[in-house]
Structure 1
Amino acid sequence: MKDWYLLYCKRSEQERAVINLDRQGVECYYPQVTVEKIIRGKRITDFEPLFPSYMFVYFDPEAISYTTVRSTRGVADFIRQGAKPQVVSPDLIYGLMMNEDSEEQQAKLTNLPKPGDTLKLTQGQFKGIEAIYQEPDGEKRSFMLINLLGRPVKVSVQNEDLIKL
């Protein structure tokens, strides 16, 4: 009887494991989410694993042995409960599939403000001041507009020093 199981994969080899497991007739589910990042000063949209180094597989252990799946290139081992691989509830898998592309999930994982967003500075000489996000300044900093002596002033601050209002 087919069941869902959870595999632990070797670091950065999930895609290799998916290809090799597909060749063996094992159905794989590797949930990914869309995230926005700043790389070299540019905003890009990328996919990241929801559970890094883990993937769900659906197969019949009577047709394909646990050893065959575990010995596949890219796979480290099953997540086990005692000596046997842990069976994962199908409801959990289908719930993940339904929520994988939801806008709410993507909004939680998007870590960049949009130009014009009002933020509050939490560190440094401008601590506690509200600012308006302008644009990225490299990978770890952003340009902000703050009101200083009645005039808007453009400053560069660390992204980790910002919180959304």
Structure 2
Amino acid sequence: MNLIQGSGGAWYALYTRPRSEKKAAATLSARGITVYCPIQKVRKRWHDRYKIVEEPVFRSYVFVRIRPEERSAVLSDNNIITFVLHCGKPAVIQDREMEGVRTFLETYQDWELRVETNDRVRIDEGPFADYTGIIVRKTKKKASIRLELLNAYLVAEFNDTQYSKV
């Protein structure tokens, strides 16, 4: 799926009601709105067994590609709370960032979502080449890097040769 091809307009992030991401994505999509709600498979333990379930990658968020005049129509969905704001206006997400998230999720299977801060680096290879981020944890084989989008970061395994200090 190429996210850049869509109905025109720009990408925006929307806050959803808790545990309503998939429902919001389905209702918006049914109304003809280009929507992206990345899903991950997670192994959950019940008292008597394990089960694989699908969960949203970004809890309480969905992404839509709309024109500015469509913003009020998106907010009419009961599962949507509001737009993610920057300086009091709905924050526009660049096509490159959305495509980077999609590519990352297709490329890396073993990752986690985190929220923290520390050291600045540039990723030298892979789907996020030339992005800058913040290292929050480093071991011999793994570096946790917060990318400069949506104040969240994705954790993946990066060798020392795959990034460099800025």
Give the TM-score normalised by the residue count of structure 2: 0.57
Secondary structure of the structure 2 residue equivalent to 1:25: coil
Q: Residues 10 and 42 (structure 1 numbering): CA distance in 2 closer, same or farther, change over 3 Å?
A: same
Shift in Å at residue 39 of structure 1? 1.8
Hey, which bits of structure 1, 4+ residues long, moved more than 6 A?
none
Unaligned runs of 5+ in 1: 110-165
Shift in Å at residue 70 of structure 1? 1.4
Q: Whose Rg is larger? A: 1
After superposition, residues 3-18 of structure 1 pair within 5 angstroms as 3-18=10-25
Identity among equivalent positions (%) equals 27
Whether 1:108 and 2:111 are equivalent positions in the alignment is yes
1:119 aligned residue: none
After superposition, residues 57-72 of structure 1 pair within 5 angstroms as 57-62=64-69, 64=70, 66-72=71-77
Q: Residues 12 and 49 (structure 1 numbering): CA distance in 2 closer, same or farther, change over 3 Å?
A: same
Secondary structure of the structure 2 residue equivalent to 1:93: helix
After superposition, residues 65-84 of structure 1 pair within 5 angstroms as 66-84=71-89
Using CA pairs below 8 Å that are at least 6 residues apart, which structure has the higher relative contact order? Answer: 1
Count of aligned positions = 105
Shift in Å at residue 67 of structure 1? 1.5
1:89 aligned residue: 94
Cα distance in 1, alignment partners of residues 27 and 42 from structure 2 = 27
Cα distance in 2, alignment partners of residues 68 and 61 from structure 1 = 10
Q: Over aligned residue pairs, what C-alpha RMSD do you find?
A: 1.8
Q: Is the 8 A contact 1:33 1:101 kept in 2?
A: no
Q: Residues 61 and 25 (structure 1 numbering): CA distance in 2 closer, same or farther, change over 3 Å?
A: farther
Cα distance in 2, alignment partners of residues 41 and 107 from structure 1 = 25
Cα distance in 2, alignment partners of residues 6 and 38 from structure 1 = 31
Q: CA-to-partner distance for each residue in 1:39-74, whole Å, 9 max, x for gaps? A: 223222221211100011011123x2x221112120
Q: Is the 8 A contact 2:21 2:56 kept in 1?
A: no
Cα distance in 1, alignment partners of residues 66 and 38 from structure 2 = 17
Shift in Å at residue 81 of structure 1? 1.3
Secondary structure of the structure 1 residue equivalent to 2:19: coil
2:159 aligned residue: none
Give the TM-score normalised by the residue count of structure 1: 0.57
Cα distance in 2, alignment partners of residues 16 and 46 from structure 1 = 16
Cα distance in 2, alignment partners of residues 5 and 24 from structure 1 = 17
The letter of the residue matching 1:107 is D
Q: Is the 8 A contact 1:5 1:78 kept in 2?
A: yes
